[in-house]
Structure formats: structure tokens, C-alpha cells
Amino acid sequence: MSQVLITGATGLVGGHLLRMLINTPQVSAIAAPTRRPLTDIVGVYNPHDPQLTDALAQVTDPVDIVFCCLGTTRREAGSKAAFIHADYTLVVDTALTGRRLGAQHMLV
């Protein structure tokens, strides 16, 4: 049984992946930290905070696999700095969290 960390679960790709993982019998636990709460999702640990890094810090149980589904465009981000934060800094934070929790694999 695998324990999974997924970031980007409120987005299009992450939302589809989350639904697939929920229905996968080999997955025993899912942590999905988000900036805003997930709705209509049962059985998923969902710490949420406008600062995703704070939500990531709340995940403390070990994980085997990390899925990073974060991504945006510069236009949606609003500035170059916000784009770099979303497309680089938060991805690195996700990787470091996975490493801290013992993940052996990460898919971006």
C-alpha cells in the first residue's frame, strides 16, 4: 500500500489525478495540501493555507510517492516574481517535503 503526497490538487490535472488516486486500491493514504480547501473529497488529509508552504509543513505522516501538479502561466500569476514562486519555489518546497517524509519517488 502506498502513501501519497499530491500538490496542485485544486487544479485541472491535479484534480483528475486526485480522483484517480482515491479510487486506486493500492493507495492507502493521501495528503493533499492546498491553498484553498478541497470540496466534496472524502478520506484525504487536506491541510490548507493561502501560503502553500504552511500547508505543506502540516503534513507529517510518511509518504512513498510525491505527485507535483503545480503550474501556472505568467499571466495568471500576475508578475514574474509570482510566476517563479508558483513554478519553481513551490515545486522545490514540494520536493523537500517529500524528502523529509521519506518519499522514494516524485513525479512532476
Least Cα distance to 35 among 9, 13, 72 occurs for 9
DSSP H helices, 23-73, are 52-57
Residue 34's DSSP bridge partners are 48
Mean pLDDT for the stretch of residues 44-58: 95
CATH for 34: 3.40.50.720
Residue with cell 505568467: 74
Share of the chain above pLDDT 90, in %: 86
pLDDT range class, residue 41, cuts 50, 70, 90: confident
Mean pLDDT for the stretch of residues 50-54: 92
Print the domain residue range for 7: 2-107
Outline where DSSP puts E strands in 1-108: 2-7, 27-31, 65-68, 105-107
Distance (Å, rounded) from C-alpha 33 to C-alpha 40?
15
Domain count, the chain: 1
Using an 8 Å Cβ cutoff, are 1 and 25 in contact? Answer: no
Per-residue pLDDT, 64: 98
pLDDT range class, residue 103, cuts 50, 70, 90: very high
